[in-house]
Amino acid sequence: MVRDSARPPDDLRGLPDRHGRVARDLRVSVTDRCNLRCRYCMPAEGLPWLAKPEMLTDDELVRLVGIFVGLGVRQVRLTGGEPLLRRSLVDVVRRIADLDPRPSIAMTTNGVGLDRLAQPLADAGLDRINVSLDTVDPREFADLTRRDRLHDVEAGLKAAAAAGLTPVKVNAVAMRGINDHSVAELLQWCLDRGYELRFIEQMPLDAQHGWDASTMISADEVRDRLAERFTLTPLPAADRGSAPAERFLVDGGPETVGIIASVSAPFCAACDRTRLTADGQVRNCLFSQRETDLRGPLREGASDEEIAGLIRGEMWRKAPGHGIGTDAFVQPARPMSSIGG
Ligand code: SAM
Ligand code: SF4
C-alpha cells in the first residue's frame, strides 16, 4: 500500500517510507577521502575532497547517530571513502558503542592500515568487518586499485581475524578484462583462510560515470565462473531476510559464498537502509537524486526532535526502487565514495 503525504503519519514510528519499508540499518560515511583509486569507484587523480569545516565533527556525528538510534536504527555501518583514514575512528566507535540502546557496529574498509587498527577497533566495540578485496593477483590488484597495496590488505585481514572480528567478510567486485577470470582463485584463497566472500555487481556510482551495462559482470556470470571449479548449492531465499546476498554452500558446505545482484535482481523491496554522508546529509538511497541537510540545522541549534523530523521526512520519500536500466534512470551526482558504500 502506498500512503501519500509529505511526512509519515505520527502513528507510524521510526523511519518508515510510503512503500511499507522501515529503515533500521544506518550507513555512515566518516570521510570521503581514500588511499586507493579503484577503477569502479573513482578516477586516478582522486576527487575534490571535502574541506574540514564541511565535515561533521565527532560530536556532531555521534549526536546524529544517536538520533537515528532513537528512531529505531539497530545497526550502524561505518564506511566512506576509506573509514580508517579518519584519525578519530576508534573514539567514534567507542562513543557509538556507548549509545543506548547500543547498536551493532560494523565497518566496510579497504583494509589498508587495518593491521594496526583491528585490535583497537574491536576493543572499542566494533562487532563486524567487511574488507574489500577484488583479487589476490598482485598485478590485477595494482591495476584495479591503481596502488600496490595487496600486502597491506592481506595483513589487515589477518589482524581482523586475530582481533576476533569473525567471520571476516570479504567484498569483491568483478570487472571485465581485469579480474573476472580470477574469481574462483579469490574464492579458494578466502576458503583457505576462513574468510566469507561476497561478490557484488558493479553499479553506476563511479565518479567518472564509466559504468556500462553491457560490460558489467553479472551475478549469473560470476556464479557460472565459480561453478566451473566449485559445486554451488543455493541456500533457501527465506534465510535471507533483508540481506541482499544470494548465498550458496560451496562444495556441500559448511563454507558459503554470497553473490549480490544489486543491478540485475535488485533487493530494493526489502531495503532497510538509510545513509548519512560525511558532510551531514541524510540520503534515503544510494541512487537518490536528493538529500536532506542535517549539518546546517544542527549548527544553527536545532533540537533532536527537529532533526528527527527532518530524517523522517527524507526517509518517507524513499523511491520504491533504483530504476537502473530504465529510461528514467539518472546516475546521482554524488559518487559512491562520497555517499558511503
Ligand atoms: N573504502 C572502503 C572499501 O573499499 O571497502 C569503503 C567504501 S567503498 C565505496 C564500499 C564498498 O563499495 C566497497 O566494497 C567497494 O568495492 C564498493 N564499491 C565501490 N564502487 C562500487 C561500484 N561502482 N559498484 C559496486 N560496488 C562498489
Ligand atoms: Fe577507495 Fe573504497 Fe572507492 Fe576503492 S572502493 S577507491 S577503496 S572508497
Alpha helices in the chain (DSSP H): 58-70, 89-97, 114-124, 138-145, 150-162, 183-193, 219-227, 295-299, 304-316, 336-339
The atom of ligand 1 lying closest to the CA of 336 is 9
Residues 264-300 pLDDT 10s: 888 899 999 999 999 999 999 998 989 999 999 999 9
Tell whether ligand 2 has an atom less than 6 A from the beta carbon of residue 165: no
What's the rounded mean pLDDT across residues 111-122?
98
Q: How remote is the C-alpha of 107 from its chain's centroid?
A: 8
Centroid of ligand 1 to alpha carbon of 336 (angstroms): 7
182 vs 236, higher pLDDT:
182
Ligand 1: residues with CB < 6 A are 34, 40-41, 79-80, 82, 108-110, 132, 171, 173, 200, 202-203, 205-206, 336-337, 341
Residues 5-63 pLDDT 10s: 778 988 899 999 999 999 999 999 999 999 999 999 999 999 999 999 999 999 999 99
Tell whether ligand 2 has an atom less than 6 A from the beta carbon of residue 82: yes
Rounded Cα gap, residues 172 and 186, in angstroms? 9
Centroid of ligand 2 to alpha carbon of 220 (angstroms): 24
Rounded Cα gap, residues 316 and 20, in angstroms? 10
What's the rounded mean pLDDT across residues 94-117?
98
pTM above 0.85, yes or no: yes
204 vs 152, higher pLDDT:
152
Nearest ligand to residue 206 Cα: 1
Residue ranges of domains in the chain, CATH in brackets: 25-339 (3.20.20.70)
What's the rounded mean pLDDT across residues 79-91?
98
Determine the 3-state secondary structure of 267 from DSSP. coil
Q: Using the predicted structure, report yes or no on whether residue 327 has a pLDDT greater than 90.
A: no
Nearest C-alpha neighbor of 317 from the set 281, 292, 280: 292
The mean of the pLDDT values for the chain is 94
Rounded Cα gap, residues 5 and 270, in angstroms? 22
Centroid of ligand 2 to alpha carbon of 170 (angstroms): 14
Rounded Cα gap, residues 154 and 137, in angstroms? 12
The atom of ligand 1 lying closest to the CA of 131 is 5
The percent of residues above 70 in pLDDT, for the chain, comes to: 97
Tell which one of 38, 78, 201, 260 to mutate to probe ligand 1, the residue whose CB is within 8 A of the most ligand atoms: 38
pLDDT of residue 239: 66
Rounded Cα gap, residues 97 and 303, in angstroms? 22
Rounded Cα gap, residues 162 and 157, in angstroms? 9
Residues 185-235 pLDDT 10s: 999 999 999 999 999 999 998 888 889 888 899 999 999 999 999 999 999
Centroid of ligand 1 to alpha carbon of 245 (angstroms): 15
Distances (CA, A) of 212 to 47, 145, 207, 251: 21, 19, 13, 33
**Residues pairing with 79 in the sheet:** 29
Tell which one of 31, 33, 35, 37 to mutate to probe ligand 2, the residue whose CB is within 8 A of the most ligand atoms: 37
Centroid of ligand 1 to alpha carbon of 338 (angstroms): 11
Residue type (1 letter), 306: E
Could you tell me if 65 and 30 are in contact, meaning their C-beta atoms sit under 8 angstroms apart? Answer: no
What's the rounded mean pLDDT across residues 113-137?
98
Nearest protein CA to atom 8 of ligand 1, as residue = 341
The percent of residues above 90 in pLDDT, for the chain, comes to: 82
The atom of ligand 1 lying closest to the CA of 211 is 23
Please state whether 340 falls in left (phi above 0), alpha (psi between -120 and 50) or beta. left
What's the grid cell of residue 329?
Answer: 534512470
